[in-house]
Amino acid sequence: MQPFHFPIVIIDEDFRSENTSGLGIRALAQAIEKEGMEILGVTSYGDLSQFAQQQSRAGAFILSIDDEEFTPGPEQDPAIVKLRNFIAEIRFRNAEIPIYLYGETRTSQHITNDILRELHGFIHMFEDTPEFVARHIIRETRSYLDSLAPPFFRALLGYAADGSYSWHCPGHSGGVAFLKSPIGQMFHQFFGENMLRADVCNAVEELGQLLDHTGPVAASERNAARIFNADHCYFVTNGTSTSNKMVWHHTVAPNDVVLVDRNCHKSILHAIIMTGAIPVFLTPTRNHFGIIGPIPESEFTRESIERKIRAHPLLEGVDPTTIKPRILTVTQSTYDGVLYNAETITRMMDGWVEAVHFDEAWLPHAAFHRFYSKYHAMGKGRERAAESLVYATQSTHKLLAGLSQASQVLVQDSKGRKLDRSLFNEAYLMHSSTSPQYAIIASCDVAAAMMEPPGGTALVEESLKESLAFRRAMRKVDKEFGKDWWFKVWGPDKLATDGIGKPEDWTLKTNDKWHGFGGLATGFNMLDPIKCTLITPGLDVSGKFAKTGIPAAIVTKFLAEHGVVVEKTGLYSFFILFTIGITKGRWNTLLTALQQFKDDYDRNASMWRILPEFCQAHPQYEKMGLKDLCQTMHEAYAKGDIARLTTEMYLSDLQPAMKPSDAFAHIARRTTERVDIDALEGRITTSLLTPYPPGIPLLIPGERFNKKIVDYLRFAREFNQHFPGFHTDVHGLVEENLGNGTSRYYVDCVA
């Protein structure tokens, strides 16, 4: 395996001293360095928690127990307490890294058992030569480092270090082609030798095959399945959009009845079109902030679903009691972090629906912390379904450490049925490239290995802690401002004063005013704390507009020009994620940027000064003040009553007139008509109509436009004309530029 930089960390107050102790520990350090290992020597623990986090960069720890603070009685000894706390912080994150104690006069009799059991060894100075002790420590350190790499990443490291000549694709041949061109040299220097050497073809046998799941790839998928509490795992290199289509094409055939969360990702709707299924939608709640809430538990009952089937225009005359839906797909979690009790849903569907599919693109972290309990698809020790297979599709690139497009399909067998891997692989091959990116596969492998407890548990807990700390900091600022305005973070009214609190604090209780979703079943939904939706002034959860307001689009434009990019922007809300990569520095930077926005808003700072890049692209705003622009846009939103309109639009009765696959086929046959917004009511769309935000399709092929939707599109047309640079983006709405800053808008409909 190629060398990596994992220094052995020595913590000794005498490390730089000229006394006997200092000379002894430096002699050991020099002996270790002669054997080719790096040393990092420090004289104190500093902040225990912060220092212990360095375990990810260390190969081993050597800790002194000859601290002058030692006093009789190990249970109360300040040095022992400090040592115990430090080791506990290390082991909270890492169960395997070697930890050694050493001393001149102290021995293991001075150390309590709870500390001793966490050690790899005890070094008594001057009894062995530094060279002998160094070799022992290095052996354990190398053994630890060699154990870190999961199967595929280990094989890839070996291949990249091999120096094999490449006679296969890709054509850059390990990066050599880039070296023949000036711009190629630039590319090579930017990405580096290792990334390009690791970009290989599936002809490299020693790396195994992603497409038939053999060799190191198969070993890594089995390892990931174990870590994520699944029976089967399939790595996917084109995102969870592709993972969803794999699950559906394995499960659903033409004319099958399928149960689908109306708040689903568009890839599920693409799967409906491709499979020729007939969807029966379960409708989620929604508040006037534009935040999509949960589907009520009552919607999942068999009685409710049979009523929907009975009323479905495409299933007229079908006896709903004879239908066995092929799949249920639920978005777990919603974009704003609302979770379902997955155990309850699986139990309600078991035996009636063949496959229960949780789209956990935004929830791969939940399996690694007790905080999420039953609010994810596959819990450790949870009872299996009797008959239904349970699927979870996860974006390891969204909230874990995968590269972009890294995803996985997890499958849990039922008591009575196991996944047919050969048949599933046919659907897998349908949606997989025959030239997968091996760096993405490696990142799936490593992202899973990183979540192995205790390390994964610690990473999730740190995300929760940082989110709660941010929420508390935002409330502190709000309290200090008193009656003056400030941003709110959407969530429960009460927060734990310290730590992460209890999961019960985050359950959505019926008719709580903060969430605005009305009556909800007890224990059925929870808000994931690491997903923070910030609310800007001007609109309340009931949809009432204040006299003044600050549209979120202006805030996020300001933040972006100050180096802070958020996940999504709504009317009066924007969304940020506390992934495992978020730090105190990042969220404190966001908080200070928000305070700067407030200062600039309150003094009505000139737009040309605070948003120079934006004003250069849109000079019509140069002479405006920030407060003036906010108020002008706020009044446009209020005049259109846009919060209430969008809520009613999404909750309106959407009637299918054709199967989605039949309507979409009009595109291929060129039997479509491009219809102006004002003539859309009653027409059948051939395309997905998807407003951003939130990026949730409003209409799917085969459904008719109603008045609410047409009114919304008219508003979007007028808004785009008056506020260039803040366009309301609607996928499926075709724009024709007429010049002079004006446009016409159409939707492709069935002719």
For 178, 184, 729, the CA distances from 190, given in Å and listed in that order, are 11, 10, 34
What pLDDT is recorded for position 250? 97
Angle at CA of residue 128, ends 125 and 131, nearest 5°: 105
What pLDDT is recorded for position 688? 93
Q: Does the predicted model carry a pTM greater than 0.95?
A: no
What pLDDT is recorded for position 198? 82
Place of tokens 């050690």: 119
H or E stretch covering 124: strand 121-124
Place of tokens 């006299």: 547
What pLDDT is recorded for position 43? 83
What secondary structure letter does DSSP report for 138? H
Q: Give me the DSSP letters along 182-224.
A: HHHHHHHHHH-HHHHHT---TT-GGG-BTTTTBHHHHHHHHHH
Q: How far is CA 131 from the centre of its chain?
A: 47
Dist CA 558 CA 540 (whole Å): 23
Dist CA 310 CA 303 (whole Å): 11
Dist CA 720 CA 631 (whole Å): 16
pLDDT averaged per 10 residues, the chain (length 751): 79 86 89 92 75 81 70 62 87 92 72 86 81 92 93 88 67 85 92 85 80 93 96 96 97 97 94 97 91 95 95 92 95 93 96 96 95 93 94 95 95 96 96 90 95 94 94 96 95 92 94 92 96 95 93 95 87 91 86 96 96 94 96 96 90 91 96 96 94 83 95 92 89 86 88 93
534, 707 Cβ separation under 8 angstroms? no
Domains and CATH numbers, the chain: 8-148 (3.40.50.2300), 230-435 (3.40.640.10), 457-633 (3.90.1150.10), 652-750 (3.90.100.10)
Q: Pick from 126, 114, 152, 139: which is nearest to 32 by CA?
A: 139
SS3 at position 101: strand
For 14, 160, 605, 736, 741, the CA distances from 620, given in Å and listed in that order, are 66, 54, 16, 22, 12
Dist CA 650 CA 698 (whole Å): 7
